[in-house]
Amino acid sequence: MSDPSGAKKPAEPSLLCPSAPAGEGAIVLGVVRSDGTVGYLGERLPVTAEFLDRLRSGPAPEARFRFGAPCRESACAQWSDGGCGLPGGLAALVPPEETPDALPRCSIRRQCRWFHQRGVSACRICPLVMTREAGVPAVGAGPHGRSEQQR
């Protein structure tokens, strides 16, 4: 709908996927701990080519870190009914009594796609999410599913 005053509305800041594949332009959101939960970085750490080079050997980067990147919306296999299907799907899998009370101190909350859709309930599940399990091949795996094959 157009603004009757004719004034242009400021563009909404683009939302970030909090479980994105590793790649240049992404940021490191957190580190996967030995117990599989995520420890968040308080500040956004840009992913560089050098960082990706260092991650070439060993388990998939997404099994060791969580990355944030601009939400691809309908270009992502997880997009359904006008939103990301993951936070709702994860909420159905994890009983609330198994989620931590304290919210992670993450660096992207104001821009996070999952927080935007589900508020703090997404944040309580978020530390339990690993983007890709160690040893799982890149193609077709992880929350981006088919869309990863196109990268």
143 binds ligand SF4 (CB under 6 A): no
Amino acid at 74: S
123-142 residues in contact with ligand SF4 (CB under 6 A) are: 123, 126
Tell me the C-alpha distance between 35 and 29, whole Å. Answer: 17
CA torsion, ordered 38, 78, 83, 115, to nearest 10 deg:
0
State the minimum distance, in angstroms, from the CB of residue 53 to ligand SF4: 26
CB 147 within 8 A of CB 77: yes
71 binds ligand SF4 (CB under 6 A): no
65 binds ligand SF4 (CB under 6 A): no
Per-residue contact flags (x/-) with ligand SF4 for residues 16 to 45, judged by CB under 6 A: --x---------------------------
CA torsion, ordered 108, 111, 112, 113, to nearest 10 deg:
-160
Q: Which residues contact 103 (CB under 8 A, 6 or more apart)?
A: 120, 123, 124
Tell me the C-alpha distance between 130 and 40, whole Å. Answer: 12
112 binds ligand SF4 (CB under 6 A): yes
106 binds ligand SF4 (CB under 6 A): yes
Judged by CB under 6 A, which stretch of 53-61, 77-85, 110-118, 141-149 contacts ligand SF4? 110-118
The residues of the shown chain that bind ligand SF4, judged by CB under 6 A, are: 18, 104, 106, 108-109, 112, 114-115, 122-123, 126
